[in-house]
Structure 1
């Protein structure tokens, strides 16, 4: 019996060690950012396409105040309520003391400069596909924004979901940095905008019980995390709009039926209306190329 107990204890220690090793936060490849110089003008386009202000401005912000990225917006989920943090250039409350590789680690690995996993309410699973130059440009632009000393609000997440290290296990199961759709070269810009920068699948794709995206039902629509209605599907067997309809909606916020955009999608349209017509057309072409769900 003593030998059995000893073996079980040893096995538990080994299993814990293996688990600790496997759930360790990944490190960004710093060499990918060596020598890169960011361009703030190009970074503004990346910032807009990625919807950074949409989640990180104060809940009641309007107009230019949306560029003060103090956070505080609540995002409800089955695992608790997450609050967007302060990402202004303030060195204490925000990310003013970060480096370019710190930002790259957050965006592409979901890891903080202190080596902690971020919750996937922050869409790093999409941003992981960002080009290093775009990260550098985004960093250059974000440093031009106004700092603010407002402290970030802690997430309202209970046990066991508040165990950050466990997110390493979640990443092993669901974090894939490759693209979902294989596309021809003419669709690559649209894919980059949809699957990476604009992270459209975060809302338009259903999730499993552990919060991982169901890639088998890519862009197939999903319950609204707020509990109010559903996010519509974008696959061509469910969405009858033409490519021109999709592009016009992203520019104007009006559907072919003359309904107006509402909810958080209004922020998405506000962002896309500031991009070029070529980018909106690229997104529309990608959407129309989605495979049907066959349901």
Structure 2
């Protein structure tokens, strides 16, 4: 009897391991060098906020920026096509796996300081366009230091963490308004605004019932951008803020939001900024 129990537990353990650690099944993709794909990728790189995190002092996306969190300090990776310290040897499949599933080319888990949970909503085609633009840039050699984390924080734990997020994440609403639908995608997913502007529980999982209600980081509080916080802002106020960082009272934003305006929302089309404003005012 004891032997049967041991075998049953072993089978359950193997099944659980496969469920938690199996690598996502992704089509074999190559990376295009077509100019139109590269141009689409340029826009998506700005919209996805890649530059404000991965930019180096030399203006390249060779990484190194320290990202402080309650779980330690993470360092933004080198996403130039340098074959040694960057992503020069990556395939299109590797890029899709990283952006949408949080896994490295070798199958290791990325930490969610990299917002792959939000990027999961982008299409494979969008991820490949991003890859096309990144691979068209000059390679820059810059070896990034390892993350500075307490000993109890390990990559394999992300297998269970991702499953917990799957259970916690609610079904998001479907909007009848095309503009709000676009704004929701840009704000909630591609621009991943909620990653900083939402509170999290002790495991670092977003409190989805308080989405955009403001967050706390080691260096200070991140402002709420939910409908109640934006009550006195008009949609045009919000769209202008996303363009040049000016608030309704005439003051300009500073701190970590400044490069987001410069490299992310300020580079979008007027239509996309207006869509984000419409979502923040009417879509929540």
- What is the correspondence of 1:163-242 to structure 2 with a 5 Å cutoff? 164-175=155-166, 180-186=172-178, 187-223=180-216, 225-228=217-220, 230-239=221-230, 240-242=232-234
* Contact persistence 1:23–1:166 (CA under 8 A): no
Q: Please list the CA deviations of residues 69-104 of structure 1 after superposition, one character each: whole Å capped at 9, or x if unmatched.
A: 111111111211111111110011100000111100
Which deviates more from structure 2 when the two are superposed, residues 259-268 or residues 114-123?
Answer: 259-268
Output the CA distance in 1 between the equivalents of 2:205 and 2:66. Answer: 20
Q: Which one of the candidate residues 54, 77, 87 is aligned to 2:52?
A: 54
Which deviates more from structure 2 when the two are superposed, residues 178-187 or residues 279-288?
Answer: 178-187
- What is the correspondence of 1:1-295 to structure 2 with a 5 Å cutoff? 13-14=10-11, 16-30=13-27, 39-58=37-56, 61=57, 65-66=58-59, 68-162=60-154, 164-175=155-166, 180-186=172-178, 187-223=180-216, 225-228=217-220, 230-239=221-230, 240-270=232-262, 271-291=264-284
Q: Secondary structure at the match of 1:133?
A: helix
Q: Secondary structure at the match of 2:21?
A: coil
Ranges in structure 1 where 5+ consecutive residues have no aligned partner: none
How much is the aligned-residue C-alpha RMSD, in angstroms?
A: 2.3
* Contact persistence 2:73–2:149 (CA under 8 A): yes
Ranges in structure 2 where 5+ consecutive residues have no aligned partner: none
Output the CA distance in 2 between the equivalents of 1:35 and 1:276. Answer: 26
| Paired residues, number | 278
* Contact persistence 1:89–1:96 (CA under 8 A): yes
